Structure 1
């Protein structure tokens, strides 16, 4: 019986963040690893690939370019390979259509031999030798295997978040989360009334899609948002510098309470709506209002939906206009909950809970190199790309900074600079020089 293979790392999950890591490590000979994903193939937010919607980040923020623009896995090479380079040039847009970004990521995933789909990680234990034994179920063959690795990288992403009071097990064709919008679009549009709840980009895109098709189905359309207004995302160039390596470093040095305060102050940078989407909504409403046409549309901010109950064929939303403290009931046949996402941390991580340093009762401490911080320092690490907003700021879910995160992780695992990290990317500074 031979010596078991010990990998330098194993990545758990294959969303864009770990897929970027897989693409970058594919050309690195100094370290070797595997990636496991329980889904059958890569599809990026399939329920939200609405025709005409774009990413909110430029095409340069692909899986590899910021670290290695010569990589065969750039978006530009994807276009070249698919004979779409001239079409994208004439398209004359910096942002990538959402569907094309999903296709691009799938194209990369199919080329990477160390990425395994339909493989679910069911458990992780630490061995006496301070390695990690990873138990993996092959969902197609119904086989279970164990792998040894020095380091783990958690890239399990997020899952839909539904507020308490709205989270009963309703029929998906009547009440669905925005992440599944396209799966239930036909049934949602068959109702006499549709209500969208939420304030972010997803809510605005779904509302616009429903507004476009309203004349074909004649439903009453309502949009409630808890926020104090429908505000556009900060689009100023200096404002975007808060999504930079320098700001991540500055943010990480703050104490926990100041980091949480900083997240709140950057809310418009993080959660605002694309100005073009708001413009399209307003323009369509304006054109339909000509000649006094009845719109049959309600848009109401400052409104929180607290409870859903079904009475006969309709759903009663128990709402409150929180600024005026006025409660009311809104009746609707269909509801789309664009209420965001929460981190999807694996169950096996709980067995390490007593060893981890916690910043509060639910958020673990994370080093600047994305290692979960333990009370007793480890030589082999658990890195995380999931649930790091409290430690690394607004960049946590930003595709434009996923490559930087992976550069740091690769360099940390290799113990040397495989990918040089940028040192001067912005024109402003975030703390005094002296």
Structure 2
């Protein structure tokens, strides 16, 4: 490994971005036309890729096309989804389709199209540390080759750092232990993010159990069920939720994705925010109503003529323990019913955990020590304006669900948040920032006048 060496002539950038997912890419696209922003963005991946393990045929994103990388900040941007459709000859087909919701694979292609036009992105850069260096921040990154081996290091200096490192897949403790203990010859225990590469193996497993309550669990169940039934493979679905919740999508509920509701959420005590976050999961982690209906229609069709569909759907049921039975080759899950308190063993040859993602304080911040604010649980203490240090130089994207609520993971709010961050970096408002967008009032007004 080579010694640290200056990069880009050791100049000090206005912004060094770490992580190029949709939110980081949106920040890069909105920064590009600003003459007073010298930016660079780093990511360890070889190129842009958005949830490749869940690119199911026909799956759509759950927000309208206006929730692209830039439009909600700058509707005239050359990086809009509509501009992508125009340049790729698909604007009229999209118009005739009469659906606001792009295909998931099409959204991924759109993001790749934007990434190809930006010269501020640096791929195969794995950031090791963010350090203080006088008035600036020093970002140290390993340079990776095509196989992921370290071939050198770079240093990038910035007046501001923006963290867009995203979230990581989460397995419940019992399934995490099962996955770690299983050897290569054992049936798969995977997170939903790994689904597509494992699909054929799952269909041939003999039995598959999906654990989870949201859109990903429903999509995988729907995708497997028909082919699995034809192969004689059983597909079961287990969720802790009391029912298969549809995502709440009424217009007044959608107003909670707003600056005003974020202000209310921020004003609450930490413990109340924590419990409220759990209560509000159906606002963005539920299942689309159309998909729920489609699943029921499929079950009805498969059961015609009195045929028994090889499946079981279990609600209000948690996986409390898991082990592998080497004699039978099965995984044995201990299931506990929430209302009844009863327990049963459930045997399956494969497990797909559609159990979501979680943000965490990345280790690369460790050199900054107490400069980084943290809450009582050790999580990043994110200010209203998305900074995590008192100097207001380190900003975060989608690491603030515990402090800002439902707006954090929402694709449609990403451009608004990027506008706030760019305001802090430039000292001006390059994109108009809406302070009020909702008809309703969250909390009580100061008086009745």
Normalised by the length of structure 1, the TM-score is: 0.95
Alignment of 1:72-87 (within 5 A): 72-87=78-93
2:220 paired residue among 203, 206, 229:
206
Match of 1:318 in 2: 334
Match of 2:3 in 1: none
Given that 2:18 and 2:127 are in contact with CA atoms closer than 8 Å, whether structure 1 keeps it comes out as: yes
2:380 paired residue among 364, 368, 372:
364
2:67 paired residue among 58, 61, 75:
61
CA displacement at 1:211 relative to structure 2: 1.2
CA displacement at 1:252 relative to structure 2: 1.9
| Cα-to-partner distance string for 1:145-204 (whole Å, 9 max, x where unaligned) | 111111111100011101112113234861111001001101011111111001111000
2:295 counterpart of 1:295: no
Q: In the aligned structure 2, how far is the partner of 1:301 from the partner of 1:385?
A: 33
Match of 2:349 in 1: 333
Given that 2:63 and 2:412 are in contact with CA atoms closer than 8 Å, whether structure 1 keeps it comes out as: yes
Given that 2:237 and 2:314 are in contact with CA atoms closer than 8 Å, whether structure 1 keeps it comes out as: yes
Number of positions where the alignment pairs a residue of Structure 1 with one of Structure 2? 429
Q: What SS does the corresponding residue of 1:271 show, helix, strand or coil? A: coil
Supply the RMSD in Å over aligned alpha carbons. 1.8
Q: Measured at CA, do residues 314 and 261 of structure 1 come closer, stay the same or move farther in structure 2, by a change above 3 Å?
A: closer
Q: In the aligned structure 2, how far is the partner of 1:174 from the partner of 1:365?
A: 37
Q: In the aligned structure 1, how far is the partner of 2:304 from the partner of 2:10?
A: 74
Q: In the aligned structure 1, how far is the partner of 2:104 from the partner of 2:344?
A: 37
Give structure 1 regions of 4+ aligned residues with deviation exceeding 4 angstroms. Answer: none
Given that 1:79 and 1:85 are in contact with CA atoms closer than 8 Å, whether structure 2 keeps it comes out as: yes
| Cα-to-partner distance string for 1:125-158 (whole Å, 9 max, x where unaligned) | 111x131111122212812111111111110001
2:33 counterpart of 1:24: no
Match of 1:425 in 2: 437
| Cα-to-partner distance string for 1:24-52 (whole Å, 9 max, x where unaligned) | 00011111110001000111000001111
2:252 counterpart of 1:247: no
Match of 1:349 in 2: 365
CA displacement at 1:344 relative to structure 2: 4.7
Alignment of 1:127-142 (within 5 A): 127=133, 129-140=134-145, 142=151
Given that 1:245 and 1:404 are in contact with CA atoms closer than 8 Å, whether structure 2 keeps it comes out as: no
| Cα-to-partner distance string for 1:310-348 (whole Å, 9 max, x where unaligned) | 112111112211221111111111110111111154212
Greater shift after overlay, 248-257 or 90-99?
Answer: 248-257
2:408 counterpart of 1:396: yes
Q: In the aligned structure 1, how far is the partner of 2:41 from the partner of 2:151?
A: 18
Q: What SS does the corresponding residue of 1:165 show, helix, strand or coil? A: helix
Q: What SS does the corresponding residue of 1:96 show, helix, strand or coil? A: coil
Alignment of 1:3-402 (within 5 A): 4-127=10-133, 129-140=134-145, 142-168=151-177, 169=180, 170=182, 171=184, 174-311=188-325, 312=327, 313-373=329-389, 377-378=390-391, 381-402=393-414
Greater shift after overlay, 346-355 or 111-120?
Answer: 346-355
Normalised by the length of structure 2, the TM-score is: 0.92
Question: Which consecutive unaligned segments of at least 5 residues does structure 1 have?
Answer: none
Q: Measured at CA, do residues 221 and 4 of structure 1 come closer, stay the same or move farther in structure 2, by a change above 3 Å?
A: closer
Given that 2:229 and 2:310 are in contact with CA atoms closer than 8 Å, whether structure 1 keeps it comes out as: no
Q: In the aligned structure 2, how far is the partner of 1:239 from the partner of 1:304?
A: 28
Greater shift after overlay, 221-230 or 13-22?
Answer: 221-230
Q: What SS does the corresponding residue of 1:213 show, helix, strand or coil? A: helix
Given that 2:208 and 2:349 are in contact with CA atoms closer than 8 Å, whether structure 1 keeps it comes out as: yes
Q: What SS does the corresponding residue of 2:62 show, helix, strand or coil? A: strand
Q: What SS does the corresponding residue of 2:140 show, helix, strand or coil? A: strand
Q: Measured at CA, do residues 289 and 216 of structure 1 come closer, stay the same or move farther in structure 2, by a change above 3 Å?
A: closer
Q: In the aligned structure 2, how far is the partner of 1:105 from the partner of 1:173?
A: 34
Q: In the aligned structure 2, how far is the partner of 1:20 from the partner of 1:387?
A: 16
Q: In the aligned structure 1, how far is the partner of 2:342 from the partner of 2:251?
A: 40
Q: What SS does the corresponding residue of 2:102 show, helix, strand or coil? A: strand
Q: In the aligned structure 1, how far is the partner of 2:347 from the partner of 2:443?
A: 51
Q: In the aligned structure 1, how far is the partner of 2:230 from the partner of 2:218?
A: 20
Q: In the aligned structure 2, how far is the partner of 1:310 from the partner of 1:357?
A: 42
Q: In the aligned structure 2, how far is the partner of 1:212 from the partner of 1:245?
A: 43
Q: In the aligned structure 1, how far is the partner of 2:200 from the partner of 2:141?
A: 37
CA displacement at 1:425 relative to structure 2: 1.6
Greater shift after overlay, 346-355 or 302-311?
Answer: 346-355
